Amino acid sequence: MSSSPRRPAGLPERLDTDDTLVMGVLNVTPDSFSDGGAHDDAPAAISHGLRLVGQGASIVDVGGESTRPGAPRVDEDEELRRVLPVVTALAAKDIVVSVDTMRASVAAASIEAGALIVNDVSAGRADVDMGPEVARLRTRLGTPPVFIAMHWRGHSDVMNELAVYRDVARDSAAELAERLSALREAGVEDRFLVADPGLGFSKTGEQNWEVLADWPTLSSHGLPLLIGASRKRFVSALGVDRDLATAAISAYSAEHGAWAVRVHDVGSSVAAVRVGDRLRRSVRR
């Protein structure tokens, strides 16, 4: 089992819990791999965000740029147009909002609009200003935003070509550790950092399973962990319902001490993490 911190600082007291949290995915895009176009205007996206919270999501992760393999980048203005009205509306209802972005400018505008978390799949590699900007920002709670740093090797148009490793679990953990060090040097404090192993990013289907199976390496950063396996190709390849398979990974992640799981189908993973949390608490020490 992981001995990493269970949670980051900087979030409301109601999230100060040893239970694994469920982060609901809200893609405000026309082209995301799972639900592109389902909520690509602000009213539909806001309604879905409220629905995710009603199903038990503790955090809503709002993204305006698809990171599916092969997806083209959107420009900054379009990304801002997509996410800001949604972030603003949800934060106004005291919902804990995360913004899924690789741009420092979008992160800053979203924090200004009420978001409390920046979820950067590139861990600051895509925008050199991200680390310093996140270190400078303050949320409506008066603290720096939580910063989720994911293992990433390149943008969506090239990431499948980069899935070459000697030992995928150790190599990806080492590369993420380098990014975490760079973020610390930029002024981001450890207590606001969360690590994400980057399942589905520059990894083959088999490599994703290898990363998940090596929990000691996956959790070696000494930080809270976010696991994002939901509906990804390696999960769908099992040939069973992808949301139920995702829920099984959510239970596994909770049993091993993950801070949160990022999912599309919130209800099934809420039930799953309760099982995982209960098993973790029952382990003989």
Active-site residue set = 232, 262
Q: Which amino acid is at 108?
A: A
Q: At what angle do helices 42-54 and 76-92 cross, to 10 degrees?
A: 40
For residue 115, give the nearest of 135, 136, 87 by alpha carbon: 87
Q: Which residues pair with 249 in a beta bridge?
A: none
Dihedral sign for Cα atoms in the order 260, 6, 18, 89 = negative
d(CA 269, CA 110): 27
For residue 207, give the nearest of 256, 163, 257 by alpha carbon: 163
d(CA 203, CA 121): 14
CA separation, residue 238 to residues 95, 108, 181, 232, 235 (Å): 34, 39, 36, 11, 6
Q: Which are the contacts of 262, defined by CB distance < 8 A and separation ≥ 6?
A: 23, 25, 61, 226, 227, 228, 230
CA separation, residue 82 to residues 88, 99, 138 (Å): 11, 11, 22
